[in-house]
């Protein structure tokens, strides 16, 4: 069985491809899936592109075309919790799609149809394994990761996400990937490195630093799990 690893940007999966051996390339729909070995683990890595729809379609095709044991989402995120510094790690205990807004129909903000939940849990087993590694290497926090199809910069939204969902970080893909995994009964966890505190300038400046944090953790995880 394969470990599926999804990143939105090419830079988020580039280091995996450098380490991957016996690589096979499969173009399925608009996405390119690279499957091979990293530390003797069977891995499929793919760039899903930014946004919830891209992430969801990419995840479904991954699950349908490969024998997937579980899915990891890696990449960068914006901090909500002030305890997370640049380069720190947000690990997902759960996710929420906070732009799902059917409150006018009586549902809670973030209600996810098909699962009939607002906050979708992640795999406790995988989370525990990753946390054991990450806590020794980085500033790490476990909690809810919130996703929507916009780059969140304003404090009003960030404060709402913290108060309503107890979210620790925000991005544009994690919750959508978890949504698809939950519908398919596939275990999931996200490893998100903090690249900014809600500023586009910070994002560009600290992207490389954040990706270095991910690299250290994911390789240690694949080597020892």
Query: Is 12 a residue of the active site?
Result: yes
Q: Tokens 């349908």, residue?
A: 64
Annotated catalytic residue, options 12, 81, 138, 171: 12
Is the distance from CB of 147 to CB of 94 less than 8 angstroms? Answer: no
- Is beta strand 21-28 parallel, antiparallel or unpaired with respect to 167-171? unpaired
Is the distance from CB of 44 to CB of 5 less than 8 angstroms? Answer: yes
120 Cβ contact partners less than 8 Å away, ≥ 6 residues apart: 94, 95, 96, 112, 175, 178, 179, 182
Query: Assign residue 188 a region: left if phi > 0, alpha if psi is -120 to 50, beta otherwise?
Result: beta
Annotated catalytic residue, options 138, 171, 173, 196: 196
Q: For residue 58, give the 3-state DSSP assignment.
A: helix
**What is the residue-wise DSSP string for 91-154?**
EEEEEEETT---GGGTPPTT-BTTTTBSSEE--HHHHHHHHHHHTTTS-EEEEEEEE-SS----
Query: Is 108 a residue of the active site?
Result: no
Question: Which residues are annotated as catalytic?
Answer: 12, 196
């Amino acid at each position: 069985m394969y470990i599926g690893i999804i990143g939105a940007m090419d830079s988020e999966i580039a280091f995996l491809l450098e380490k991957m051996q016996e690589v096979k390339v499969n173009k399925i729909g608009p996405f390119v899936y690279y499957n091979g070995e990293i530390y003797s683990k069977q891995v499929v890595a793919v760039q899903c592109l930014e946004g919830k729809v891209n992430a969801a379609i990419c995840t479904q095709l991954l699950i349908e075309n490969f024998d997937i044991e579980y899915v990891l989402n890696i990449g960068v995120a914006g901090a909500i919790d002030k305890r997370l510094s640049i380069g720190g790690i947000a690990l997902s205990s759960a996710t929420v799609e906070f732009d799902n807004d059917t409150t006018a129909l009586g549902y809670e903000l973030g209600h996810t149809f098909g699962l009939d939940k607002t906050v979708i849990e992640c795999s406790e087993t995988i989370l525990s394994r990753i946390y054991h590694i990450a806590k020794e290497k980085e500033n790490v926090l476990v909690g809810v990761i919130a996703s929507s199809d916009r780059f969140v910069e304003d404090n009003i939204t960030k404060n709402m996400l913290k108060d309503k969902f107890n979210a620790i970080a925000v991005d544009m893909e994690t919750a959508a990937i978890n949504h698809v995994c939950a519908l398919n009964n596939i275990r999931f966890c996200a490893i998100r490195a903090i690249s900014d505190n809600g500023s586009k300038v910070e994002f560009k400046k600290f992207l490389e630093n954040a990706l270095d944090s991910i690299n250290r953790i994911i390789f240690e995880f694949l080597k020892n799990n």
